[in-house]
A = this chain, B = another copy of it.
């Protein structure tokens, strides 16, 4: 590649290889996997030329960014075009076309993307599962163990091989410690959609289902130190944070979500989010609570785990 025809061409070719920036401008759109009109986000299946010229899959998540207070006056003044659309009594609507610097889009790239990544973002019908502990042991756990969804990126963070500069707080205790980092969904420009993740140091707790009274010190550390770190760094008090675990989680290394209470974060719904304080109280009430209680979650029609439940007539 060192003797490519021109510097520009060389840069583009190199771009698809490991270590180089992703060639966003060369993406060919295959299809829109999902378009969230409410959230102004699009999940896109695209392809870029791979090292040997063959098309390679990528998932692009495009998301428009929230308004920032300090930009609003400028936005109203600096628009390049303004069109009146409708008018009725005291109400009128306009289309306004702001300059690029006030129109930031957050783009998340998954590259190379596997079929699994594409499926993950594809819009699907959803089914509710009521998973008993027996279901977990007989269906869910064997399924999780049979999958090899890589969580290398989690280990990279815990080992400071990636994102070390993004760590907001760390408790290094191998048993009761954790690392707090901003979630990828948050661009950190405004507090309205504040979103952080606490990743536990130990690697033997997959999800809520594994939790027992043994984990109370770990969970208390996450609750207390996480709140305190967010208050110190971002000035947001604990009473304005929604702190919860997902079940099912999207990856099986225990983690806790911290989101701004006023932010209607995706996945904060009752059929997925379990408030950390409720988890603590349930474990205090009964050390084996999560090995007894049925848990509800939703699965999309294409998720292999749903098929497992269907095969044994549990859906």
Interface residues of A (CB under 8 A from B): 21-22, 24-25, 27-29, 32, 35-42, 44, 46, 60, 62, 64-67, 69, 72-73, 75-77, 79-82, 84-113, 123, 125-130, 150, 152-153, 156-157, 162-163, 166, 184, 187, 190, 192-193, 238-242, 244, 260-266, 268-275, 277-278, 281, 285-286, 292-294, 296, 298, 315
Contacts and interface: CB of A to CB of B under 8 A. Distances in A.
Given A38-B263, A86-B163, A270-B242, A100 B126 contact: no
Contacts of A103: 97-98, 100, 102-103
Task: Work out how many copies of this chain go into the complex.
Answer: 2
9 contacts: A27-B73, A37-B193, A38-B265, A95-B107, A96-B105, A96-B106, A98-B105, A128-B241, A128-B242
Contact of A24 (B35, B39, B82): B82
A95 B106 contact: yes
Contact of A192 (B35, B104, B127, B190): B35
Contact of A100 (B38, B97, B268, B286): B97
Given A32-B69, A93-B106, A193 B274 contact: no
Given A89-B150, A261-B298, 20 more contacts: A29-B69, A37-B66, A37-B193, A38-B39, A39-B40, A42-B69, A46-B76, A64-B64, A64-B65, A86-B163, A88-B153, A88-B163, A89-B162, A90-B110, A94-B107, A97-B101, A125-B262, A127-B261, A239-B315, A275-B296
A234 to B, nearest CB: 14
A196 to B, nearest CB: 14
A62 B73 contact: no
A191 to B, nearest CB: 9
A275 to B, nearest CB: 6
Contacts of A294: 277, 281
Contact of A79 (B25, B166, B292, B293): B25
A262 B100 contact: no
A108 to B, nearest CB: 5
Contacts of A88: 153, 156-157, 162-163
A90 B108 contact: no
Given A35-B192, A89-B162, A263-B38, A94 B109 contact: yes
A184 B270 contact: no
Contacts of A98: 100, 103, 105
